[in-house]
Structure 1
């Protein structure tokens, strides 16, 4: 993990060194080991380094090539280094002396702005090409590495975090009220991959390259999943062996570290599978034992996740670290620091469990942490989605068998078959008929349905047209016109939901000086799983069937073949709000009216009274916390 920033002026005025220094100083938590700036005329680059990989120990960024015409700043970890070194004819240099940024710069020198398509890994980088007088920016397919930008009159500026952009006087500090509505509706966080809480400041879209030449810009997509690819093996055993080979490589290449490695371990299949492989690989790399980070239940509280976590830990070969809800008080200073430095309001809503594990990583000086994002999409299917496509294909006996199997997860086989039978007719309903139906639907009913259960001020919701925003959200997941299940799955990968989850993890990890790594989001593994037959993903009610088969014998049977989930989130949320009770009371007593234009104050106060009467926050604390954090965030950021 690193922090990067930069400025490019279109009117050719020189970049001021002080501006770059302010930008990079605001990102110190992302790279405390080394920082530097480079500027030449109207272009300036900055970087702060967190050492993680062996090569990063000797890396200097920004990096300028020997001819002085190419300069790069980057936050990158490349996973196809061997292939790149060969393709770039760098085989005469010891690999350990070649940094990832050197490889990217060499790739640009060879392939130009097509170079991001040659890279496998997590990256955000910006290159200044002095010969062509152009700036090239790129971000990895899933958006693991963050990048924000402002493109305004006479200036393009970028950074790993918004706070760095806001140090510049040219960047406006104007609230994006539509994003406030998204926050109050919560599910609208997933509406797109670019918006932020500031007007005119954007997230750089994942999987894209931006080329700026003069005052003109050109966007291009550098990676796409191929929904037409197919993998065919002769048996389940062959499929499992092929999967295990690709999955193992996805884990192995993310263990490249100059420091001890760690992995989250929740007791779920995804993180357990990663630990099951990594704990054998880490000692073989001479890195000692794998460290595990687990959020567990309080003593005396039965929790299935904790039981499964301990089952994996009991297999040994790890250095285990755990945190309980009743131990959060030991981390009050770190939690308050995260609350105060939060750029994105959404981070307040689900941060408690993953943040707890990143707090553990920080305490034990663990710089890079693996996690299980997002096995639910990669190694499986939407739990019931395949039934729709089986019915479309006329494969009723198989559809019935699968529906019966899903009863293990609490589904009704009858309802699954009934509703999927109806929904499979949707592609055949002409668009004009759907428009007529929407036209004659009551606008008032649609609006009331949209805001039900939220604390959003109805007048504010109308002003930002939340029903239209919800319609846009639903269109992100509309697969009714996808002809195959693989095509529908690929569409899910393109939807913003996965990106916003990755970005949340990245932001809260960065505050603790931790680099998150996601083996299940290796693009080679994702493409492999996308090309698998559906029967290798879900079978007779068992989701992630190929992952279960691959881990049989490597994990406890109770973990490998578990069904269902329990969540510790509410317990950690309750503990955190109890710790912040004085903070909540202070804002509720004297500051809440500041957000009356956005929030239904009476609904918030009613929820607050119920929390006080019950002396617990699990049921009604969420809307109270939404309102309190919105009030605090607007005040702290002077909006």
Structure 2
């Protein structure tokens, strides 16, 4: 896991912007405190910050080249099946000098080009500079776990792992993208398009690549991956999922540094922890250290479920309680690392969990992210699609039965399910959620089509997984911690896409197949748990305390009144209504964090990081300390 940056001169006739890329790379030092490097090979410049996970020696230094120095790579992520790829490539004549997945990835690209992407099982964002073809190849993993942002200014294509690194060049404007800001204020969503919250800055879409060359415009990205159902012939859904998930965890336990897991008390993280414990014990290892978030409010505290998982697995645990004052002390720091506004104070809670894990000596952390997206676990996406699919297949009785089971198991009123069943047949403009009353120019949200398959893919590729991947990457990399997500193994996801509706939900229990797949590994209280709280903080209560005072100050300011987004009087009235006992926490948070984001990223004449957190990794090494400069590659003579 690392930070990458680079530049490509589309004109090809100017001195390389070495100093800009050096500053961009050093802006990402928190992502890779162990090493730094640069390649200057006009018209391209590549930068790299390394967090050492595999082969901790200097042999893993990047940018890395093929033996003939034609291809150079800067790579962020992990290729989990690098051992299997090594064997394949050795059979084709490749010789390896490290045990680093970067060398394997580069050899795979040299052997198969863009087709190598389909052979990779991992999370990745990388750029390969081809000195002979004078082309820069940029690619991103199937589900966008690892980030890549880019912009073009003065005919220079620049890319980086984080948006803030692009702002090193003051010619890159820090102008808000009003359409995306409005989407966030209305619906609390980010990352649902390739556009970012900044005008003119884009993210390379998940499962896409981009080839940049001299003398031509930057093309539209090319999709190399489209999610498709797996072939489950000859097996049952339960066995197929169990086999894939166990192997996904096994691959993600490969590491030369300490590994831990999160335990939230929910099914997904508990399943990962239980499988990891089983695999480690087979290898003669003790269970990995686990980490959990607590809450003072017993209504949302997950400890009873966490404790049962710990008892059954024997895993050691460290927990913490998110606190209002700690949120306020670190809010700007978390926002700085996010680059863009985040939808809930729960994001701070996960950042705090990451700092706890890193401070405990763990460098790799497995978690349950992606379980709901992989297995259609979100009720707001599952049930509308389920009702539509059942009704259009003529299975009216099944739709009614599941609505009744949902009412008894999940506590959802039967009338609510009936409304969802009717609503899914209505036009998108009627199905859309109502935006806040204080938003001056509401937008129309992106909505899935009607079937269960459409809703499933929407959760994976549009919302919410892209937003959650963004937040998880920034929270963990802020403290040089690598997060790994077994449920985002493409084999697990393609298995879930092959399920029939009854494999997803049965008798009111969502993720039914997963429950059965891990039933022997977990306590019944967790497997048969009706509802999961989610990563919780008590922000609604905090908004009636010190956080609410800060909101009041922000919502009363002349600065906010000058923004094009808010009806100030309506916003202040909503805050008062919340203080009076109503619950408007989600909408109020979005308004508050947007204003805070504008003050941090847009308003200042010069971008300035907030005071460094005590948990931030430090490094004295700069990319300038390890620069490799190359002349243009000689042209090959004709055969």
Give TM-score, length-normalised by structure 2: 0.84
Alignment of 1:245-394 (within 5 A): 245-285=243-283, 288-298=286-296, 301-303=298-300, 305-326=302-323, 329=325, 334-346=330-342, 350-380=346-376, 382-384=381-383, 385-394=385-394
In structure 1, the partner of 2:621 is none
Distance (whole Å) between structure 1 residues aligned to residue 434 and residue 453 of structure 2: 33
Aligned to 1:551: 518
Question: 1:223 maps to what in 2?
Answer: 225
Residue 289 of structure 1 and its aligned partner are, at CA, apart by 3.3
| Superimposed CA distance per residue, residues 102-149 of structure 1 (whole angstroms, 9 cap, x where no aligned partner) | 112111111123222221110000001011111100000110001100
**1:186 aligned partner:** 187
The alignment partner of 1:194 has SS state of: coil
Instruction: Compute the displacement of 1:23 (Å).
Output: 0.5
Q: CA deviation at 1:269?
A: 0.8
Q: Distance in 2 between matches of 1:450 and 1:399?
A: 23
Per residue, is there more helix in 1 or in 2?
A: 1
Inter-CA distance 422–321: structure 2 relative to 1 (3 Å threshold) = closer
**Residue of 411, 436, 440 corresponding to 1:453:** 436
Contact kept, 8 Å, 2:263 with 2:273, in 1: the verdict is yes
Match of 1:442 in 2: none
Asked if 1 retains the 8 angstrom alpha-carbon contact of 2:295 and 2:301, the reply is no
Q: Does residue 133 of structure 2 align to residue 135 of structure 1?
A: no
The answer to whether structure 1 residue 79 and structure 2 residue 80 are counterparts is yes
Please give the secondary structure, in 1, of the residue aligned with 2:265.
Answer: coil
Structure-2 residue corresponding to 1:429: none
1:514 correspondence with 2:481: yes
Counterparts in 2 of 1:279 and 1:334: CA distance versus 1, 3 Å: farther
Distance 1:339 1:502 in 2: 15
CA distance in 1, matches of 2:416, 2:197: 40
Instruction: Give the direction of change, closer, same or farther, for the CA distance of 1:16–1:304 in structure 2 (3 Å limit).
Output: closer
Q: Classify 1:322/1:349 alpha carbon distance in 2 versus 1 (closer, same or farther; 3 Å).
A: closer
CA distance in 2: counterparts of 1:180 and 1:374, whole angstroms? 25
SS in 1 for 2:564: coil
Q: Which moved further from structure 2: 82-91 or 412-421?
A: 412-421
Q: CA deviation at 1:383?
A: 3.5
Separation in 1, partners of 2:401, 2:109: 52
Tell me by how many angstroms 1:549 deviates: 1.0
Distance 1:56 1:523 in 2: 30
2:491 is matched with: 524
Point out where structure 1 has 5 or more consecutive residues left out of the alignment: 427-433, 439-445
CA distance in 2, matches of 1:310, 1:256: 27
The residue aligned with 1:203 is 203
Return closer, same or farther for 1:496/1:64 CA change in 2, 3 Å cut-off: same
Return the offset for 1:368: 1.9
1:36-75 superposed matches below 5 A: 36-54=37-55, 58-75=59-76
Shift in CA distance, 304/332, structure 1 to aligned 2, threshold 3 Å: closer
Q: Distance in 2 between matches of 1:205 and 1:133?
A: 23
Distance 1:584 1:80 in 2: 48
Shift of the alpha carbon at 1:16? 3.0
Q: 1:258-310 CA deviation, whole Å, 9 max, x = no partner?
A: 22212221111111111111122235556653121111122x83546222112
1:176 matches 2:140: no
CA contact under 8 A between 2:539 and 2:585: conserved in structure 1? no
Which region of structure 1 is more displaced relative to structure 2, 159-168 or 536-545? Answer: 536-545
Displacement of 1:532 in angstroms is: 2.8
Deviation, structure 1 residue 503: 1.0
Q: What is the CA–CA distance in structure 2 between the aligned matches of 1:414 and 1:583, rounded to whole Å?
A: 39
Cα 1:347/1:54, change in 2 over 3 Å: farther
Residue 461 of structure 2 is matched in structure 1 by 494
CA distance in 2 between counterparts of 1:285 and 1:307 reads 29
In 1: Cα distance, 2:363 partner to 2:38 partner: 24
Specify the alignment match of 1:212 in structure 2.
212
Contact map agreement 2:159 2:166 (CA 8 A) in 1: yes
- TM-score by length of structure 1 reads 0.84
The residue aligned with 2:608 is none
Change (3 A) 1:450 1:562: closer
Please give the alpha-carbon distance, in whole angstroms, between the structure 2 residues aligned to 1:389 and 1:585: 46
Task: For 1:281 and 1:575, locate their aligned partners in 2 and report how far apart those are by CA, in whole Å.
Answer: 41
CA 1:379–1:496 in structure 2 vs 1: closer, same or farther (change >3 Å)?
Answer: closer
**Are 1:405 and 2:376 matched, yes or no?**
no
Shift of 1:233: 4.4
1:3 corresponds in structure 2 to 3
Partner residue in 2 for 1:15: 16
Q: Post-superposition shift, 1:372?
A: 1.4
Q: 1:31-90: per-residue Cα shift (whole Å, max 9, x none)? A: 111111111111000000112234677411111222121111000211222332233226
Residue in 1 that maps onto 2:168 = 167
- Counterparts in 2 of 1:345 and 1:487: CA distance versus 1, 3 Å: closer
Are 1:533 and 2:504 an aligned pair?
A: no
Aligned to 1:603: 570
Instruction: Summarize deviations over 1:468-513 as a string: whole Å, max 9, x none.
Output: x33xx12xx1135xxxx54653454332431112112212222222
Tell me the alpha carbon deviations over residues 489-547 of structure 1, each in whole angstroms, 9 at most, x when there is no partner.
Answer: 34543324311121122122222222221111100111122123333222222211111
CA distance in 2, matches of 1:96, 1:399: 58
Q: Which residue of 1 aligns with 2:104?
A: 103
SS in 1 for 2:190: helix
Distance 2:136 2:194 in 1: 20
- Shift of residue 14 of structure 1? 2.5
SS at match of 1:181: helix
Bigger Cα displacement from structure 2, 114-123 vs 627-636: 627-636
Higher-RCO chain (CA-CA 8 Å, sequence separation at least 6): 2
1:570 and 1:330 map into 2 onto residues whose CA distance is 12
Task: Provide the residue aligned with 1:431 in structure 2.
Answer: none
Question: Against the structure 1 CA distance between its residues 555 and 64, is the aligned structure 2 distance closer, same or farther, given a 3 Å change threshold?
Answer: same
Paired with 1:401 and 1:593, the residues of 2 have a C-alpha distance of 50
**SS of corresponding position for 1:97:** coil
